[in-house]
């Protein structure tokens, strides 16, 4: 029976004025991600990424991932939405490089560079889906842009008059006009004659107001992010400067730029998660984000190199609706001295299973998940429920506020459910909490082996 007097006094808290929740860079810690391609659709940011395998030394890339957010801080992992298997005519062992997805006429088109047998360079394929999260299916059964030099890093935008343009290329910048079906093109493939002097690769083409922008990975190596502007979708491109100077900590880069809820954001990547685990440079990258403001003339200021702070949260998370456990602001392993709650040791992972779809897996003792900016309202919660599965002895989920040692709302005991995909919903009473707090799920159990899997959670209001 729940005894309110057993709750630490600090748990019974009134609504307080709190600082805005902040994301932490890199924004994904459960996997190595790169080549961010954000898409704003129906009030949601869908972030498509390439994926560096955990054992990668050089580039080892087999699929494309998707994450989504409505607040720029908590990101929901949708897992793999397309892979080399989507293009059965492509080489299947590697080279799932930088993608981009664009929406048109209720469909979503994924453009990606892949390799083909007998050709040393990439080609560009296109897949289509009815939903941002897929499943994406090969649209043509063959490349859209076939064998030629430098055909990597496609970027697509649709102009106000309905004409779509596909750009790509390393070390040159190429383009073609796409037809309305988005899976064919008209006219010749053209090499831009106004490529900025420091253009390297990774173009990101978009229009904002009356200006056309071409951001890109600049110089090599290391690579920064440069950009050019034009009054036409086909150029000429006028170099405007660096959005971000190069940094020795990151040999590569790839921009993705959006406006969302009245703010402007640039995504890129660094190697911070890799270097936190090893001093050896391995092609295991991590997506990052920074907010910026355009100048009055439409130009973009030069930003500091990616920091570990990230961006402020836009709105708050509602804990009284079902929240997927793979909705995460931060996760990592907890040091035994508890002095570094944001260390870089490996933490939980996400996986797809037959019983629950995407879920949090590989939960071991003293790992945790942070969910930022959770609004408990004026009444607060009375109970907490979670969908869990265990093929071992289970463990506990400590529900804490503010940090890994913060006030304890309650503890959910997770039993052996009879299998890693045998899901049960377990609930427990919780103490009182009102207002906005960062929520921490701290996982406890015996031994170093996985304890249980975690699918979703929800609080019940008082």
Do both 279 and 339 map to the same domain? Answer: no
pLDDT digits (tens, 9 = 90+) for 225-259: 999 999 999 999 999 999 999 988 888 899 999 99
Do both 226 and 187 map to the same domain? Answer: yes
Q: Which residues pair with 103 in a beta bridge?
A: 108
**What pLDDT was estimated at residue 346?**
55
**What pLDDT was estimated at residue 22?**
57
**Over 70: is that where the pLDDT of 337 sits?**
no
Do both 287 and 323 map to the same domain? Answer: no
Do both 154 and 87 map to the same domain? Answer: yes
Are 181 and 164 within 8 A, CB to CB?
A: no
CATH number, domain containing residue 172? 2.115.10.20
Q: Is 126 within the bounds of a domain?
A: yes
Q: Is 298 within the bounds of a domain?
A: no
CATH number, domain containing residue 436? 2.60.120.260
Q: Is 84 within the bounds of a domain?
A: yes
Do both 345 and 390 map to the same domain? Answer: yes
Using the Cα atoms of residue 411, residue 70, residue 223 and residue 53 in order, give the sign of their dihedral: positive
Do both 195 and 320 map to the same domain? Answer: no
Do both 230 and 189 map to the same domain? Answer: yes
Do both 113 and 261 map to the same domain? Answer: yes
Do both 325 and 434 map to the same domain? Answer: yes
E strands within 283-404? 286-292, 323-324, 327-328, 330-333, 349-353, 357-363, 367-375, 381-390, 395-401
Residues 6+ apart with CB under 8 A from 19: none
Can you give the residue range of the structural domain that contains 456? 4-18+316-461
Q: Is 214 within the bounds of a domain?
A: yes
Domain boundary among 227, 260, 292: 292
Do both 160 and 54 map to the same domain? Answer: yes
- Statement: the pTM of the whole predicted model exceeds 0.95: no
Q: Which residues pair with 257 in a beta bridge?
A: 266
Q: Is 166 within the bounds of a domain?
A: yes
Q: Residue 275, SS3?
A: helix
CB neighbours of residue 399 within 10 Å: 26
pLDDT digits (tens, 9 = 90+) for 348-387: 899 999 889 999 998 999 899 999 999 999 999 999 999 9
Q: Residue 420, SS3?
A: strand
Q: Residue 440, SS3?
A: strand
Q: Is 310 within the bounds of a domain?
A: no
**Over 70: is that where the pLDDT of 223 sits?**
yes
Total structural domains in the chain? 2
Do both 13 and 136 map to the same domain? Answer: no
Do both 260 and 208 map to the same domain? Answer: yes
């Amino acid at each position: 029976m729940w005894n309110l007097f057993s709750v630490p006094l600090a748990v019974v808290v009134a609504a307080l004025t709190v600082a805005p929740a902040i994301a932490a860079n890199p924004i994904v810690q459960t996997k190595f991600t790169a080549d961010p391609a954000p898409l704003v659709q129906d009030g949601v940011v869908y972030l498509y990424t390439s994926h560096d395998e955990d054992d990668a030394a050089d580039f080892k890339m087999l699929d494309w991932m998707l994450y989504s957010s409505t607040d720029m801080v908590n990101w929901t992992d949708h897992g793999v939405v397309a892979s080399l298997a989507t293009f059965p005519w492509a080489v299947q062992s590697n080279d799932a490089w930088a993608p981009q997805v664009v929406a048109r006429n209720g469909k979503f088109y994924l453009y990606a560079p892949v390799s083909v047998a007998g050709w040393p360079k990439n080609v560009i394929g296109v897949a289509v889906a009815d939903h941002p999260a897929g499943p994406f299916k090969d649209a043509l059964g063959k490349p859209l842009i076939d064998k030629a030099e430098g055909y990597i890093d496609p970027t697509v935008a649709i102009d106000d008059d309905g004409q779509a343009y596909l750009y790509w290329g390393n070390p040159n910048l190429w383009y073609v006009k796409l037809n309305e079906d988005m899976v064919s093109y008209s006219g010749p493939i053209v090499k831009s004659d106004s490529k900025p002097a420091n253009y390297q690769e990774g173009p990101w083409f978009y229009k904002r107001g009356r200006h056309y922008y071409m951001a890109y990975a600049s110089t090599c190596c290391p690579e920064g992010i440069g950009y050019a502007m034009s009054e036409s979708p086909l150029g000429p491109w006028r170099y405007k400067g660096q959005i971000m100077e190069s940094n020795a900590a990151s040999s590569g880069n790839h921009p993705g730029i959006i406006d969302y809820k009245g703010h402007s954001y640039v995504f890129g990547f660094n190697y911070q998660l890799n270097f936190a685990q090893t001093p050896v440079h391995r092609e295991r990258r991590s997506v990052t984000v920074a907010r910026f403001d355009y100048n009055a003339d439409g130009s973009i200021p030069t930003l500091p190199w990616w920091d570990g702070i990230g961006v402020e949260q836009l709105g708050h998370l509602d804990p009284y609706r079902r929240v997927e456990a793979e909705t995460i602001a931060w996760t990592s392993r907890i040091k035994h001295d508890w002095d570094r709650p944001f260390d870089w040791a490996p933490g939980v992972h996400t996986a797809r299973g037959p019983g629950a779809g995407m879920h949090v897996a590989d939960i071991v003792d003293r790992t945790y998940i942070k969910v930022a900016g959770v609004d408990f309202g004026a009444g607060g919660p009375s109970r907490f429920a979670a969908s869990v599965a265990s093929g071992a002895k289970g463990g506990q989920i400590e529900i804490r506020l503010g940090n890994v040692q913060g006030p304890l709302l309650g503890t959910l005991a997770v039993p052996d459910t009879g299998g890693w995909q045998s899901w049960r919903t377990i609930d427990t009473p919780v103490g009182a909490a009102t207002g906005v707090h960062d929520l921490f799920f701290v996982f406890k159990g015996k031994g170093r082996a996985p304890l249980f899997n975690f699918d979703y959670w929800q609080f019940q209001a008082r």
